[in-house]
Amino acid sequence: MGEFFDPSLSPFGYNETVAQEYFPLTREEVLARGYGRQDNTYDTKIPEGADVVRPQTYTDIQWDELKSDDGVLKKVFVCEVS
């Protein structure tokens, strides 16, 4: 009574949980404690010829126009950071 489940049973890596924000651990510390870690990277594939929208290229006025157009549903929005 009063014990937690074994960390190996968690479907999430330590770095994917809120625990990482409050108790940051390095990759080595996480693995030494027996916790799981998610180290996959995902390469987003944007189809050729897609209408790509980059937020840094639009002003506020242009964003309002873009939001009012149904064509916005056919655009690919790319994050400023990625």
Instruction: Spell out the residues 6+ positions from residue 35 whose beta carbon is closer than 8 angstroms to its own.
Output: 7, 10, 13, 14, 25
Given this model, what pLDDT does residue 5 score?
Answer: 86
Report pTM.
Answer: 0.49
- Do residues 18 and 40 lie in contact, with contact meaning Cβ atoms separated by under 8 Å? no
Asked if 75 and 47 count as a contact pair (C-beta separation under 8 A), the reply is no
**What is the structure's pLDDT at 63?**
65
Task: Identify the segments of the chain with pLDDT beneath 70.
Answer: 1, 58-69, 71, 82
